[in-house]
Structure 1
Amino acid sequence: MTIKVKTEKDLPIAGATVRLNQQLLGSTDTAGVLITTNEKIANQKISVSAIGFKEKTLSLSNKPSNNLISITLLESTNVLDEIVVTAGRKPESISTIPSSITILNQQDIQAQTNITNNLATVLGNAIPGLGTSTNKATNSGQTLRGRAVLVLIDGIPQSTPLMNGARDLRTIDPSVIERIEVIKGATSIYGNGSGGGIINYITKKNKDGKKISGQTILGTSINPFDPKETLGYKLSQQLSGQVNKWSYTVSGSADYTGLQRDSDGLPLGQTDGLSNSYQYNGFIKIGYQIDSSSTLTGFYNYYGSTQRAKYISKNGIYVSRLQLELEEKNQANPQVHLTITMRC
C-alpha cells in the first residue's frame, strides 16, 4: 500500500507522520510517499500530520483498487512559540545559560586532518577556548576554558576522575568520526569530570542504503625543510552497508608519525611524545532498526599507540653565553684571568 501526501499546489510533503488508528505507520520520504506492508486498511482511520499543516483524518470503508491513497493537507496559520531544549536536569532560560555549542562537521574534520591526524591538534586548532596540543601522546593540560573536559564517543565517557589516563582525546581514528559536538560550560548530565565542558565524537553510520560501500585513505607526511627521518604514513580502510534492518560500519587504520623536529631542525625526543610513534585503530559498529523511529546500536573501538623513539631527552647543565665566551678565552690564552662581580 502506498500513501502519498501533498499540498494544495500538488507539492510533496516530506516528513509527514502517518498513523493508522492512532498507531504509527511511519513518515513520508522526500517525495511525500510512504510505502507500508499493512494491508488491513479497510474500515480503518488514517491520520496524517506535518509541521505547518493542519492534521487530516480519513475513514476508509474499502481498500483502494490501485493500492494508492492520496492525501492533501491544508496549510496551518498557527505559529509555534519559541522552543528551548535544555541539556540539564532542570529547565533554564536561554538568557542565563553560560554554555555555547560548537559543531565540527565531516568537511571541517577532513580539512584539519589534511594537516595532521592528531585529534588533539585538530581540536586545538578548530575549537575556540580549547588549549592547543603539546604534540605529546597525552592531552594533559589541554583544557576547555581553563577547566577539565569530558570526552565521549557516541555519548559514552572515555574516562572518569578515578581512572583518567589523559589520553581520551586520541582514543579513536578521525576517519570514523561523522561530526564532533562540543558543549562549552560546566554540566553534570554525564556525571563528574566536565568542569570545562563536553566533547562528543559521533561516529559514522550507513545512510545510503547500499549493501556494501567503502573508503580507502592513503597518506604521507614529511618535514620539507629538514626531511631526514621525518617521513610518516597512514593507511585506513572503511566498509559500511545495510542488509534488511541490519547496518554495519567496519574500519581499520595504521598510522606512523616520523621524527619531529623544532624550528631549528633539532630532533624532538620528548618522553611520551609523537616522534617515531605507531597508532592502530580498529572500529566496528552494528545497528538494528526496530521501527522507523527506534534503532538499537552497539560498537567496539580499539586504539593503541606505541612510541619507539630514536632520541630521548637528557638533562643538561645550564651555562650562560657569557660564561661560554669566558671559558673559550681562557682556553685560548691561559695567562689571562678575568673576574666579574655583579652586585644588586
Structure 2
Amino acid sequence: MHTPLIKFPLYLAILTVSNQLLAEEQSPTDTQLDKQVITATRTVEGLASLPYTVQIIGQDEIAQQATPGQELGSILGQLVPSLGAGDNSVSNYYQSLRGRGVLVLIDGVAQRSNRGVSRQLSTISPSSIERIEVISGATAIYGAGATGGVINLITKKASEDGLNFHTEIGMTTSTEDLDSDNHTYTLVQDIAGKFDKFDFLAGISLEQRGNYVDSNGDQIATDPNQLARDNTDTLDLILNAGYQISDTSKIRAGIQYFDEEMDTDSAADFGTPSQAYLGLPQGVIGKAGDYKPQPIDGLDLNQQPATNRQSFTVDFSEENFFGQSLIAQASYRKQDLYFYPYLGAPLYIQTDWNNAASLLGQGASTSEALFGSSTAGSTITQSRIETTTLDFKIALDSQFDIAGKKLGLTYGFDYIQDTGNQTSTEYNYNEYLASGQTTLNETGTVVDAGPETDTTTQAAFLQAQFAPIDALTLRAGIRYEMIRAEVDDYVSGDDVLNAAFYNSQLEDPTLQALAGQNGMTPNQFLEYVTGIEATALQGIGADRYIKYSDTVATREGGKKTFDDTLFNVGAVYDIDQTQQVYLSFGQGFSVPDITRLLRNVSIFTDNADAKPVLESKNIDAIKTNSWDLGWRGQFDSIEVSAATFFNSSDKSIYFNPTTGEAELLNQEEEIWGFEGLINAYLTDTINTGATYSYTRGKTRGDEGGWVSLPAERVAPQKITAHLGYQMPGIFNMRLQALHLSDYKEANREGNSATMVPFVGYTTFDLLTSFELLKGRLAVSIRNLANKEYQHLYNQVRGYPSTGVSSDLPAQGRTLSMNYSIDY
C-alpha cells in the first residue's frame, strides 16, 4: 500500500479555495497558418511554407488534457488524427502514425536508441511540456526512425521577466471504488526567472498512481507485458537555462532526470496451474477459455519494473556566422529500463525419476511412466535494458537573392554514437509457482537477451526552399546516412538456461540407471525421453518449446554497415490568403533493433551450427517512400485540414505471435489512408471540432499474394469530436468523444488464432475548469459513461502470444481535480 507522496489534504485544499472568479480574455483563433515550427526543416519556419501535414498543440490544450495520471500517449491519441489511441501503459509501441513508427524528439533531440524500446512518450511528464509539434509522413531530416513521422516535445522555458512561480496539486480517483488505494496524486512546482541576458526554468513533477479500477469497480490486474502505469511513483526534474552571449548568439542548456518505478503488492496473473498443461499456468501456451486475470496479493519482487532516463543537452545558435545562421546541438542520454519478470521458452518436463522407475517396474509403459511422474516447467526471467547515446548535430541556414526571389539553403551534419544491451535475470521457477505466482527469488543466473550492440551514425544533408512566385513555395532535399553496427560475441540465453536444466537432469543417478538399462548414454536417453514428451504435447502446441540440448555455444560477433541516400521534394500553393494545397514526397530510413532480432538465436535455430551471430538472421535497413497530398485553411473562426497519404517499404518486421520471435522479412508493405481535422468557433462562447483518420495496409504473404496488416500495425478507423463552452475568465468546458471502429480485415485473411479481430469502442470525457480569485480549478471526468471495453493492445495481444496475462479491461470512470496557480 502506498504512502502518499503528497500529504497535504487534497480534498480540503481544493474545495476550500476561494470561489471568487476573475475575468480573463480568451481568443477563439488559436490556430493560424503562420505559427512557427522548428522540426520540419531543422530551422524556424512558418507553417504556411511547409508541404507536410503539421499539427501544433499549445500549452493550454496540453494542460486541459493533462488530468492527474493521464499519460502523454493518450493525450496525443485524442488530439492527433492519424496517431493510434493510447492505452495508459508505459509503451507507445501500439501507437503507430500512419501505420509506421514515429520518431519522438525532446527539444529537437531524437529519443531513439539502437534498442527499440517504445517508452519515448512515457519518459516526460505533460507538465514539463510547453508545445508539441507533429509532422506526419516519412522524413529523413532527423535521421533514421521517422518512417511514420515526427513528434517534437518542446519543454518549458522562462517567458516573463523577473521571478515567477507555478504550482499544481491534483488528484484522480475511480468513481466506482473510492478507496484511497485507488487514488492518483500529482504535485508540480516550477520556478522561472528572466533577468537581462539570462533566463532559467526549474521544474519538478511528482506523481503517485494507485490501483486502476475497471467499470465494475474491480481492481485491474498487473500487466506484465506493456506495463500499465498503475501503482507507479514518478519523479520528473527539468532545468532549462539560456544566456544571450551577444545580439546574434545564444547558448542554452537543458537537464532532465526522469524516474518511474512500479510499487505494487499485486503480482501479475499468467493463469492458475492446469492439469491439461502439466501444471503450467494456463496462459503460458495459450489463452485459457474465459479465464480473466486477477490481482494476486503478496508480490515479493525486489526490483519492480522501472524507467530511468537522464539527459543533458547544449544548444548554441549564431545568427551571423559568416552571413549564415548556425545551430549546433550536443546531447548525452542514458536510460535504464526494467520489465516485469516473464514466463517463456524454453519449457521443460520435470520428471521424478525415482517414481518413473517405480512405475516402469510395475509394468507401466514408458509413456505412462514418464507422464505419471512429470510436470511441465518453464523459465521466468526479468529483462533489463541499458542504453547510452551521444548525439551531435550542426545545421547552417543561408539565404540568397535570385532575381528578387529568395533561395534558402539549410545544410549540416549529424553524428550519433549509441550503445545498447539487454540482459535477463533468472528467478526460481518452482518457488514462483509454489507461491501462487507471488515470490520471485533470483537464482544468480544472468544471461544475455541478445548481443550488445554499438552503432555509429554519420549523416550529411541539404535542404533547399525557393518561391518562384508569391503563391508557390518549392522545397527539395537530400540526405546521405551511414550506420555502422558492431555486435559483440553472443552466448544465447536460451542455450544457457536450456543446458543448465538438462545438465542437472543428467546428474540424477536414477536417470543414469534407466539409461543403462535401455542401452543408452544419459544424454541419448534424455534426448529420447524429451522427444516422446514433446510429441505427446503437440495437441496443446507446447512441442515447439520443448527441445533437448546440453550445449552452450559462443557465436562470433561482427560488423555491418547500412547506408542510403534519401530524397524529399514538396510544393505548397496558396489558393488565396486563407487556404493552401500541398504535395510532398519523402523517404524514411530505419535499421531494425538488431539485439531484438538476434535475441532468440539458439542452438536450435542454428540447427546445431553456431555460425557468426550476424549471419543467423536476416538483418538489413528498411526504406520507406511516402506521398502526402493535403489541403488546409483558416476561414475567420474555422480551421480545417485534410490529407490523403500513401507509403510503402521494401521490407517488414514480423513479430511471431506464437513464439515471440522477431523476424525481418523481404516482403513489401503498402499503407494508405486519409485524415482530417476541423475546429470551429460557432460563437464567442461555443466551439466545436472533430478529427477523422482511416488507415489500411497490406503486405506480401508467403505465397506472393497481398494480406491485410493487423490492427496493431494500422490503427482502426478513429473519430474524435468535441464541444466546448467558455465564459471568458469564468468557466471553460469541453465534452469530448473518441471512437475506434471494429477492425477484422487481417482476421478474415489470416490465421484466426493469431490474427485476433479488434472490437471497437466509444468513450466520452468531460473536462471543466474554473478561474478563481487566485488560481484555477479543473474538474474532469474520464470515461463519462463508465464504458466497459479493452484497449487495442489488450485485445490483439491477448491470444495466444502472452496467454491470459494481457487480457485486461480498461479503466472505468474516473474523477479528477486539479488546482493550479501562477504567482
Q: TM-score, normalised by structure 1?
A: 0.62
Q: Please report how far the alpha carbon of residue 121 of structure 1 lies from its aligned counterpart in structure 2 after TM superposition.
A: 1.3
* Cα deviation code 1:21-43 (max 9, x no counterpart): xxxxxxxxxxxxxxxxxxxxxxx
Deviation at 1:257, TM superposition (A): 1.1
State the AA in 1 paired with 2:169: L
In the aligned structure 1, how far is the partner of 2:161 from the partner of 2:107?
A: 21
Distance (whole Å) between structure 1 residues aligned to residue 247 and residue 124 of structure 2: 29
2:178: which partner in 1?
Answer: 227
Q: What are the equivalent positions in structure 2 for 1:111-126 lying under 5 Å apart?
A: 111-114=64-67, 116-126=69-79
User: Partner residue of 1:130?
Assistant: 83
1:175 aligns with 2:102: no
One-letter amino acid of the counterpart of residue 106, structure 2:
I
Q: Contact between 1:88 and 1:187, CA under 8 Å: does it hold in 2? A: no
Match of 2:264 in 1: 309
Structure 1: distance between partners of 2:167 and 2:68: 18
Residue aligning to 1:202:
154
Q: Write out aligned runs for 1:45-194 (5 A).
A: 87=40, 99-114=52-67, 116-160=69-113, 162-194=114-146
Q: Secondary structure at the match of 2:77?
A: helix
Q: Distance in 1 between matches of 2:208 and 2:251?
A: 35
Aligned mates of 1:320, 1:248 — CA distance in 2: 55
From 233, 252, 262, give the equivalent of 1:278: 233
Does the Cα contact within 8 Å between 2:133 and 2:153 map onto a contact in 1?
A: yes
User: What's the secondary structure of 1:121's corresponding residue?
Assistant: helix
- Displacement after TM superposition at 1:311 (Å): 2.2
**Taking structure 1 as reference, are residues 275 and 122 closer, same or farther at Cα in structure 2, changes over 3 Å only?**
same
Cα distance, 1:86 vs structure 2 = 10
Q: Structure 2: which amino acid aligns with 1:308? A: D
Following TM superposition, by how much is the alpha carbon of 1:165 offset from its aligned partner in structure 2, in angstroms? 2.5
Cα RMSD, aligned residues only: 2.5
Letter in 1 for 2:167: T
Question: Matched residues in 2 for 1:308 and 1:227: separation?
Answer: 20
Does the aligned pair in 2 maintain the 1:99–1:186 contact within 8 Å? no
Q: 2:131 is paired with a residue of what secondary structure?
A: strand
> Aligned equivalents of 1:293 and 1:171: distance in 2?
34
Shift of 1:270: 1.1
> CA-to-partner distance for each residue in 1:163-196, whole Å, 9 max, x for gaps?
3321111221222211100000110011100111
SS of corresponding position for 1:222: strand
Q: Is the 8 A contact 2:101 2:145 kept in 1?
A: yes
Rounded Cα–Cα distance in structure 1 between residues aligned with 2:240 and 2:85: 31
Is 1:244 aligned to 2:244, yes or no? no
Instruction: Find the counterpart in structure 1 of residue 14 from structure 2.
Output: none
Output one character per residue of 1:246-291: Cα deviation in whole Å (capped at 9) or x when no partner.
1101001110111002222232221222111111101001101133
Structure 1 residue 87, shift from structure 2 partner: 3.8
**Deviating more after overlay: 307-316 vs 174-183:** 307-316
Describe the SS at the equivalent of 2:200. strand
Alignment partner of 1:133: what SS?
Answer: coil
Unaligned runs of 5+ in 1: 1-84, 322-344
* Counterpart residue identity of residue 221, structure 1: T
Change (3 A) 1:170 1:301: same
Do the aligned residues in 2 keep the contact of 1:106 with 1:177 (CA within 8 Å)? yes
Name segments (4+ residues, structure 1) moved above 4 Å. none
By relative contact order (CA 8 Å, sep 6+), the higher-ranking structure is 2
Q: Which residue of 1 aligns with 2:244?
A: 289
The C-alpha deviation readout for 1:84-129, integer Å capped at 9, x for no partner, is: x99459xxxx9xx873001110111011013643111111111111
Report the residue type matching 2:146 in the other structure.
S
Quote the Cα distance in structure 2 between the aligned partners of 1:250 and 1:87.
28
Pick from 162, 167, 171: which aligns with 1:216?
167
The code of the aligned residue for 1:99 comes to Y
Q: Quick check: which has more Rg, 1 or 2? A: 1
- Take 1:177 and 1:188, find their aligned partners in 2: how far apart are those partners? 24
Letter matched to residue 241 of structure 2: I
CA 1:98–1:263 in 2, change beyond 3 Å: closer, same or farther?
farther
Question: What displacement does 1:149 show?
Answer: 0.5
Q: Secondary structure at the match of 2:167?
A: strand
Equivalent position SS for 2:176 = coil
- Gap runs ≥5 in structure 2: 1-37, 272-281, 283-287, 292-823
- Judged with a 3 Å threshold, the aligned counterparts in structure 2 of structure 1 residues 313 and 98 are, in CA distance, closer, same or farther, namely farther
Instruction: Identify the match of residue 261 of structure 1 among 200, 203, 213.
Output: 213
Mean Cα displacement is larger for which, 138-147 or 180-189? 138-147
AA paired with 1:114? Answer: T
CA distance in 2, matches of 1:175, 1:86: 21
Distance change (3 Å), C-alpha of 1:302 and 1:164: farther
Q: Distance in 2 between matches of 1:86 and 1:131?
A: 21
Task: Name 1:74's counterpart in structure 2.
Answer: none
Counterpart code for 2:199: S
TM-score, length of structure 2 as denominator length? 0.27
Displacement, 1:319? Answer: 4.5
Give secondary structure in 2 for the equivalent of 1:103: strand
Larger strand proportion, structure 1 or 2? 2
Shift of 1:309: 2.2
Percent identical: 34
Distance 1:112 1:105, change over 3 A: same
Return closer, same or farther for 1:192/1:86 CA change in 2, 3 Å cut-off. closer
For 2:190 and 2:85, the matched residues in 1 are separated by: 29
Letter in 2 for 1:254: L
Structure 1 position 138, deviation (Å)? 1.7
* Cα drift, residue 234 of structure 1: 0.6
Distance 1:88 1:217 in 2: 35
Cα gap change, 1:86/1:234 in structure 2, threshold over 3 Å: closer, same or farther? closer
**C-alpha distance in structure 2 between counterparts of 1:278 and 1:294, whole Å:** 40
- For 1:223, the aligned partner's letter is S
> How far, CA to CA, are the matches of 1:220 and 1:170 in structure 2?
19
Summarize the Cα distance change of 1:159–1:176 in structure 2 as closer, same or farther, 3 Å threshold: same
Q: CA deviation digits over 1:306-331, x for unaligned, max 9? A: 0122323312353469xxxxxxxxxx
- Offset of residue 301 of structure 1: 0.7
Residue 300 (structure 1) shift: 0.6
| Aligned residues of 2:104 and 2:152 also touching (Cα < 8 A) | yes
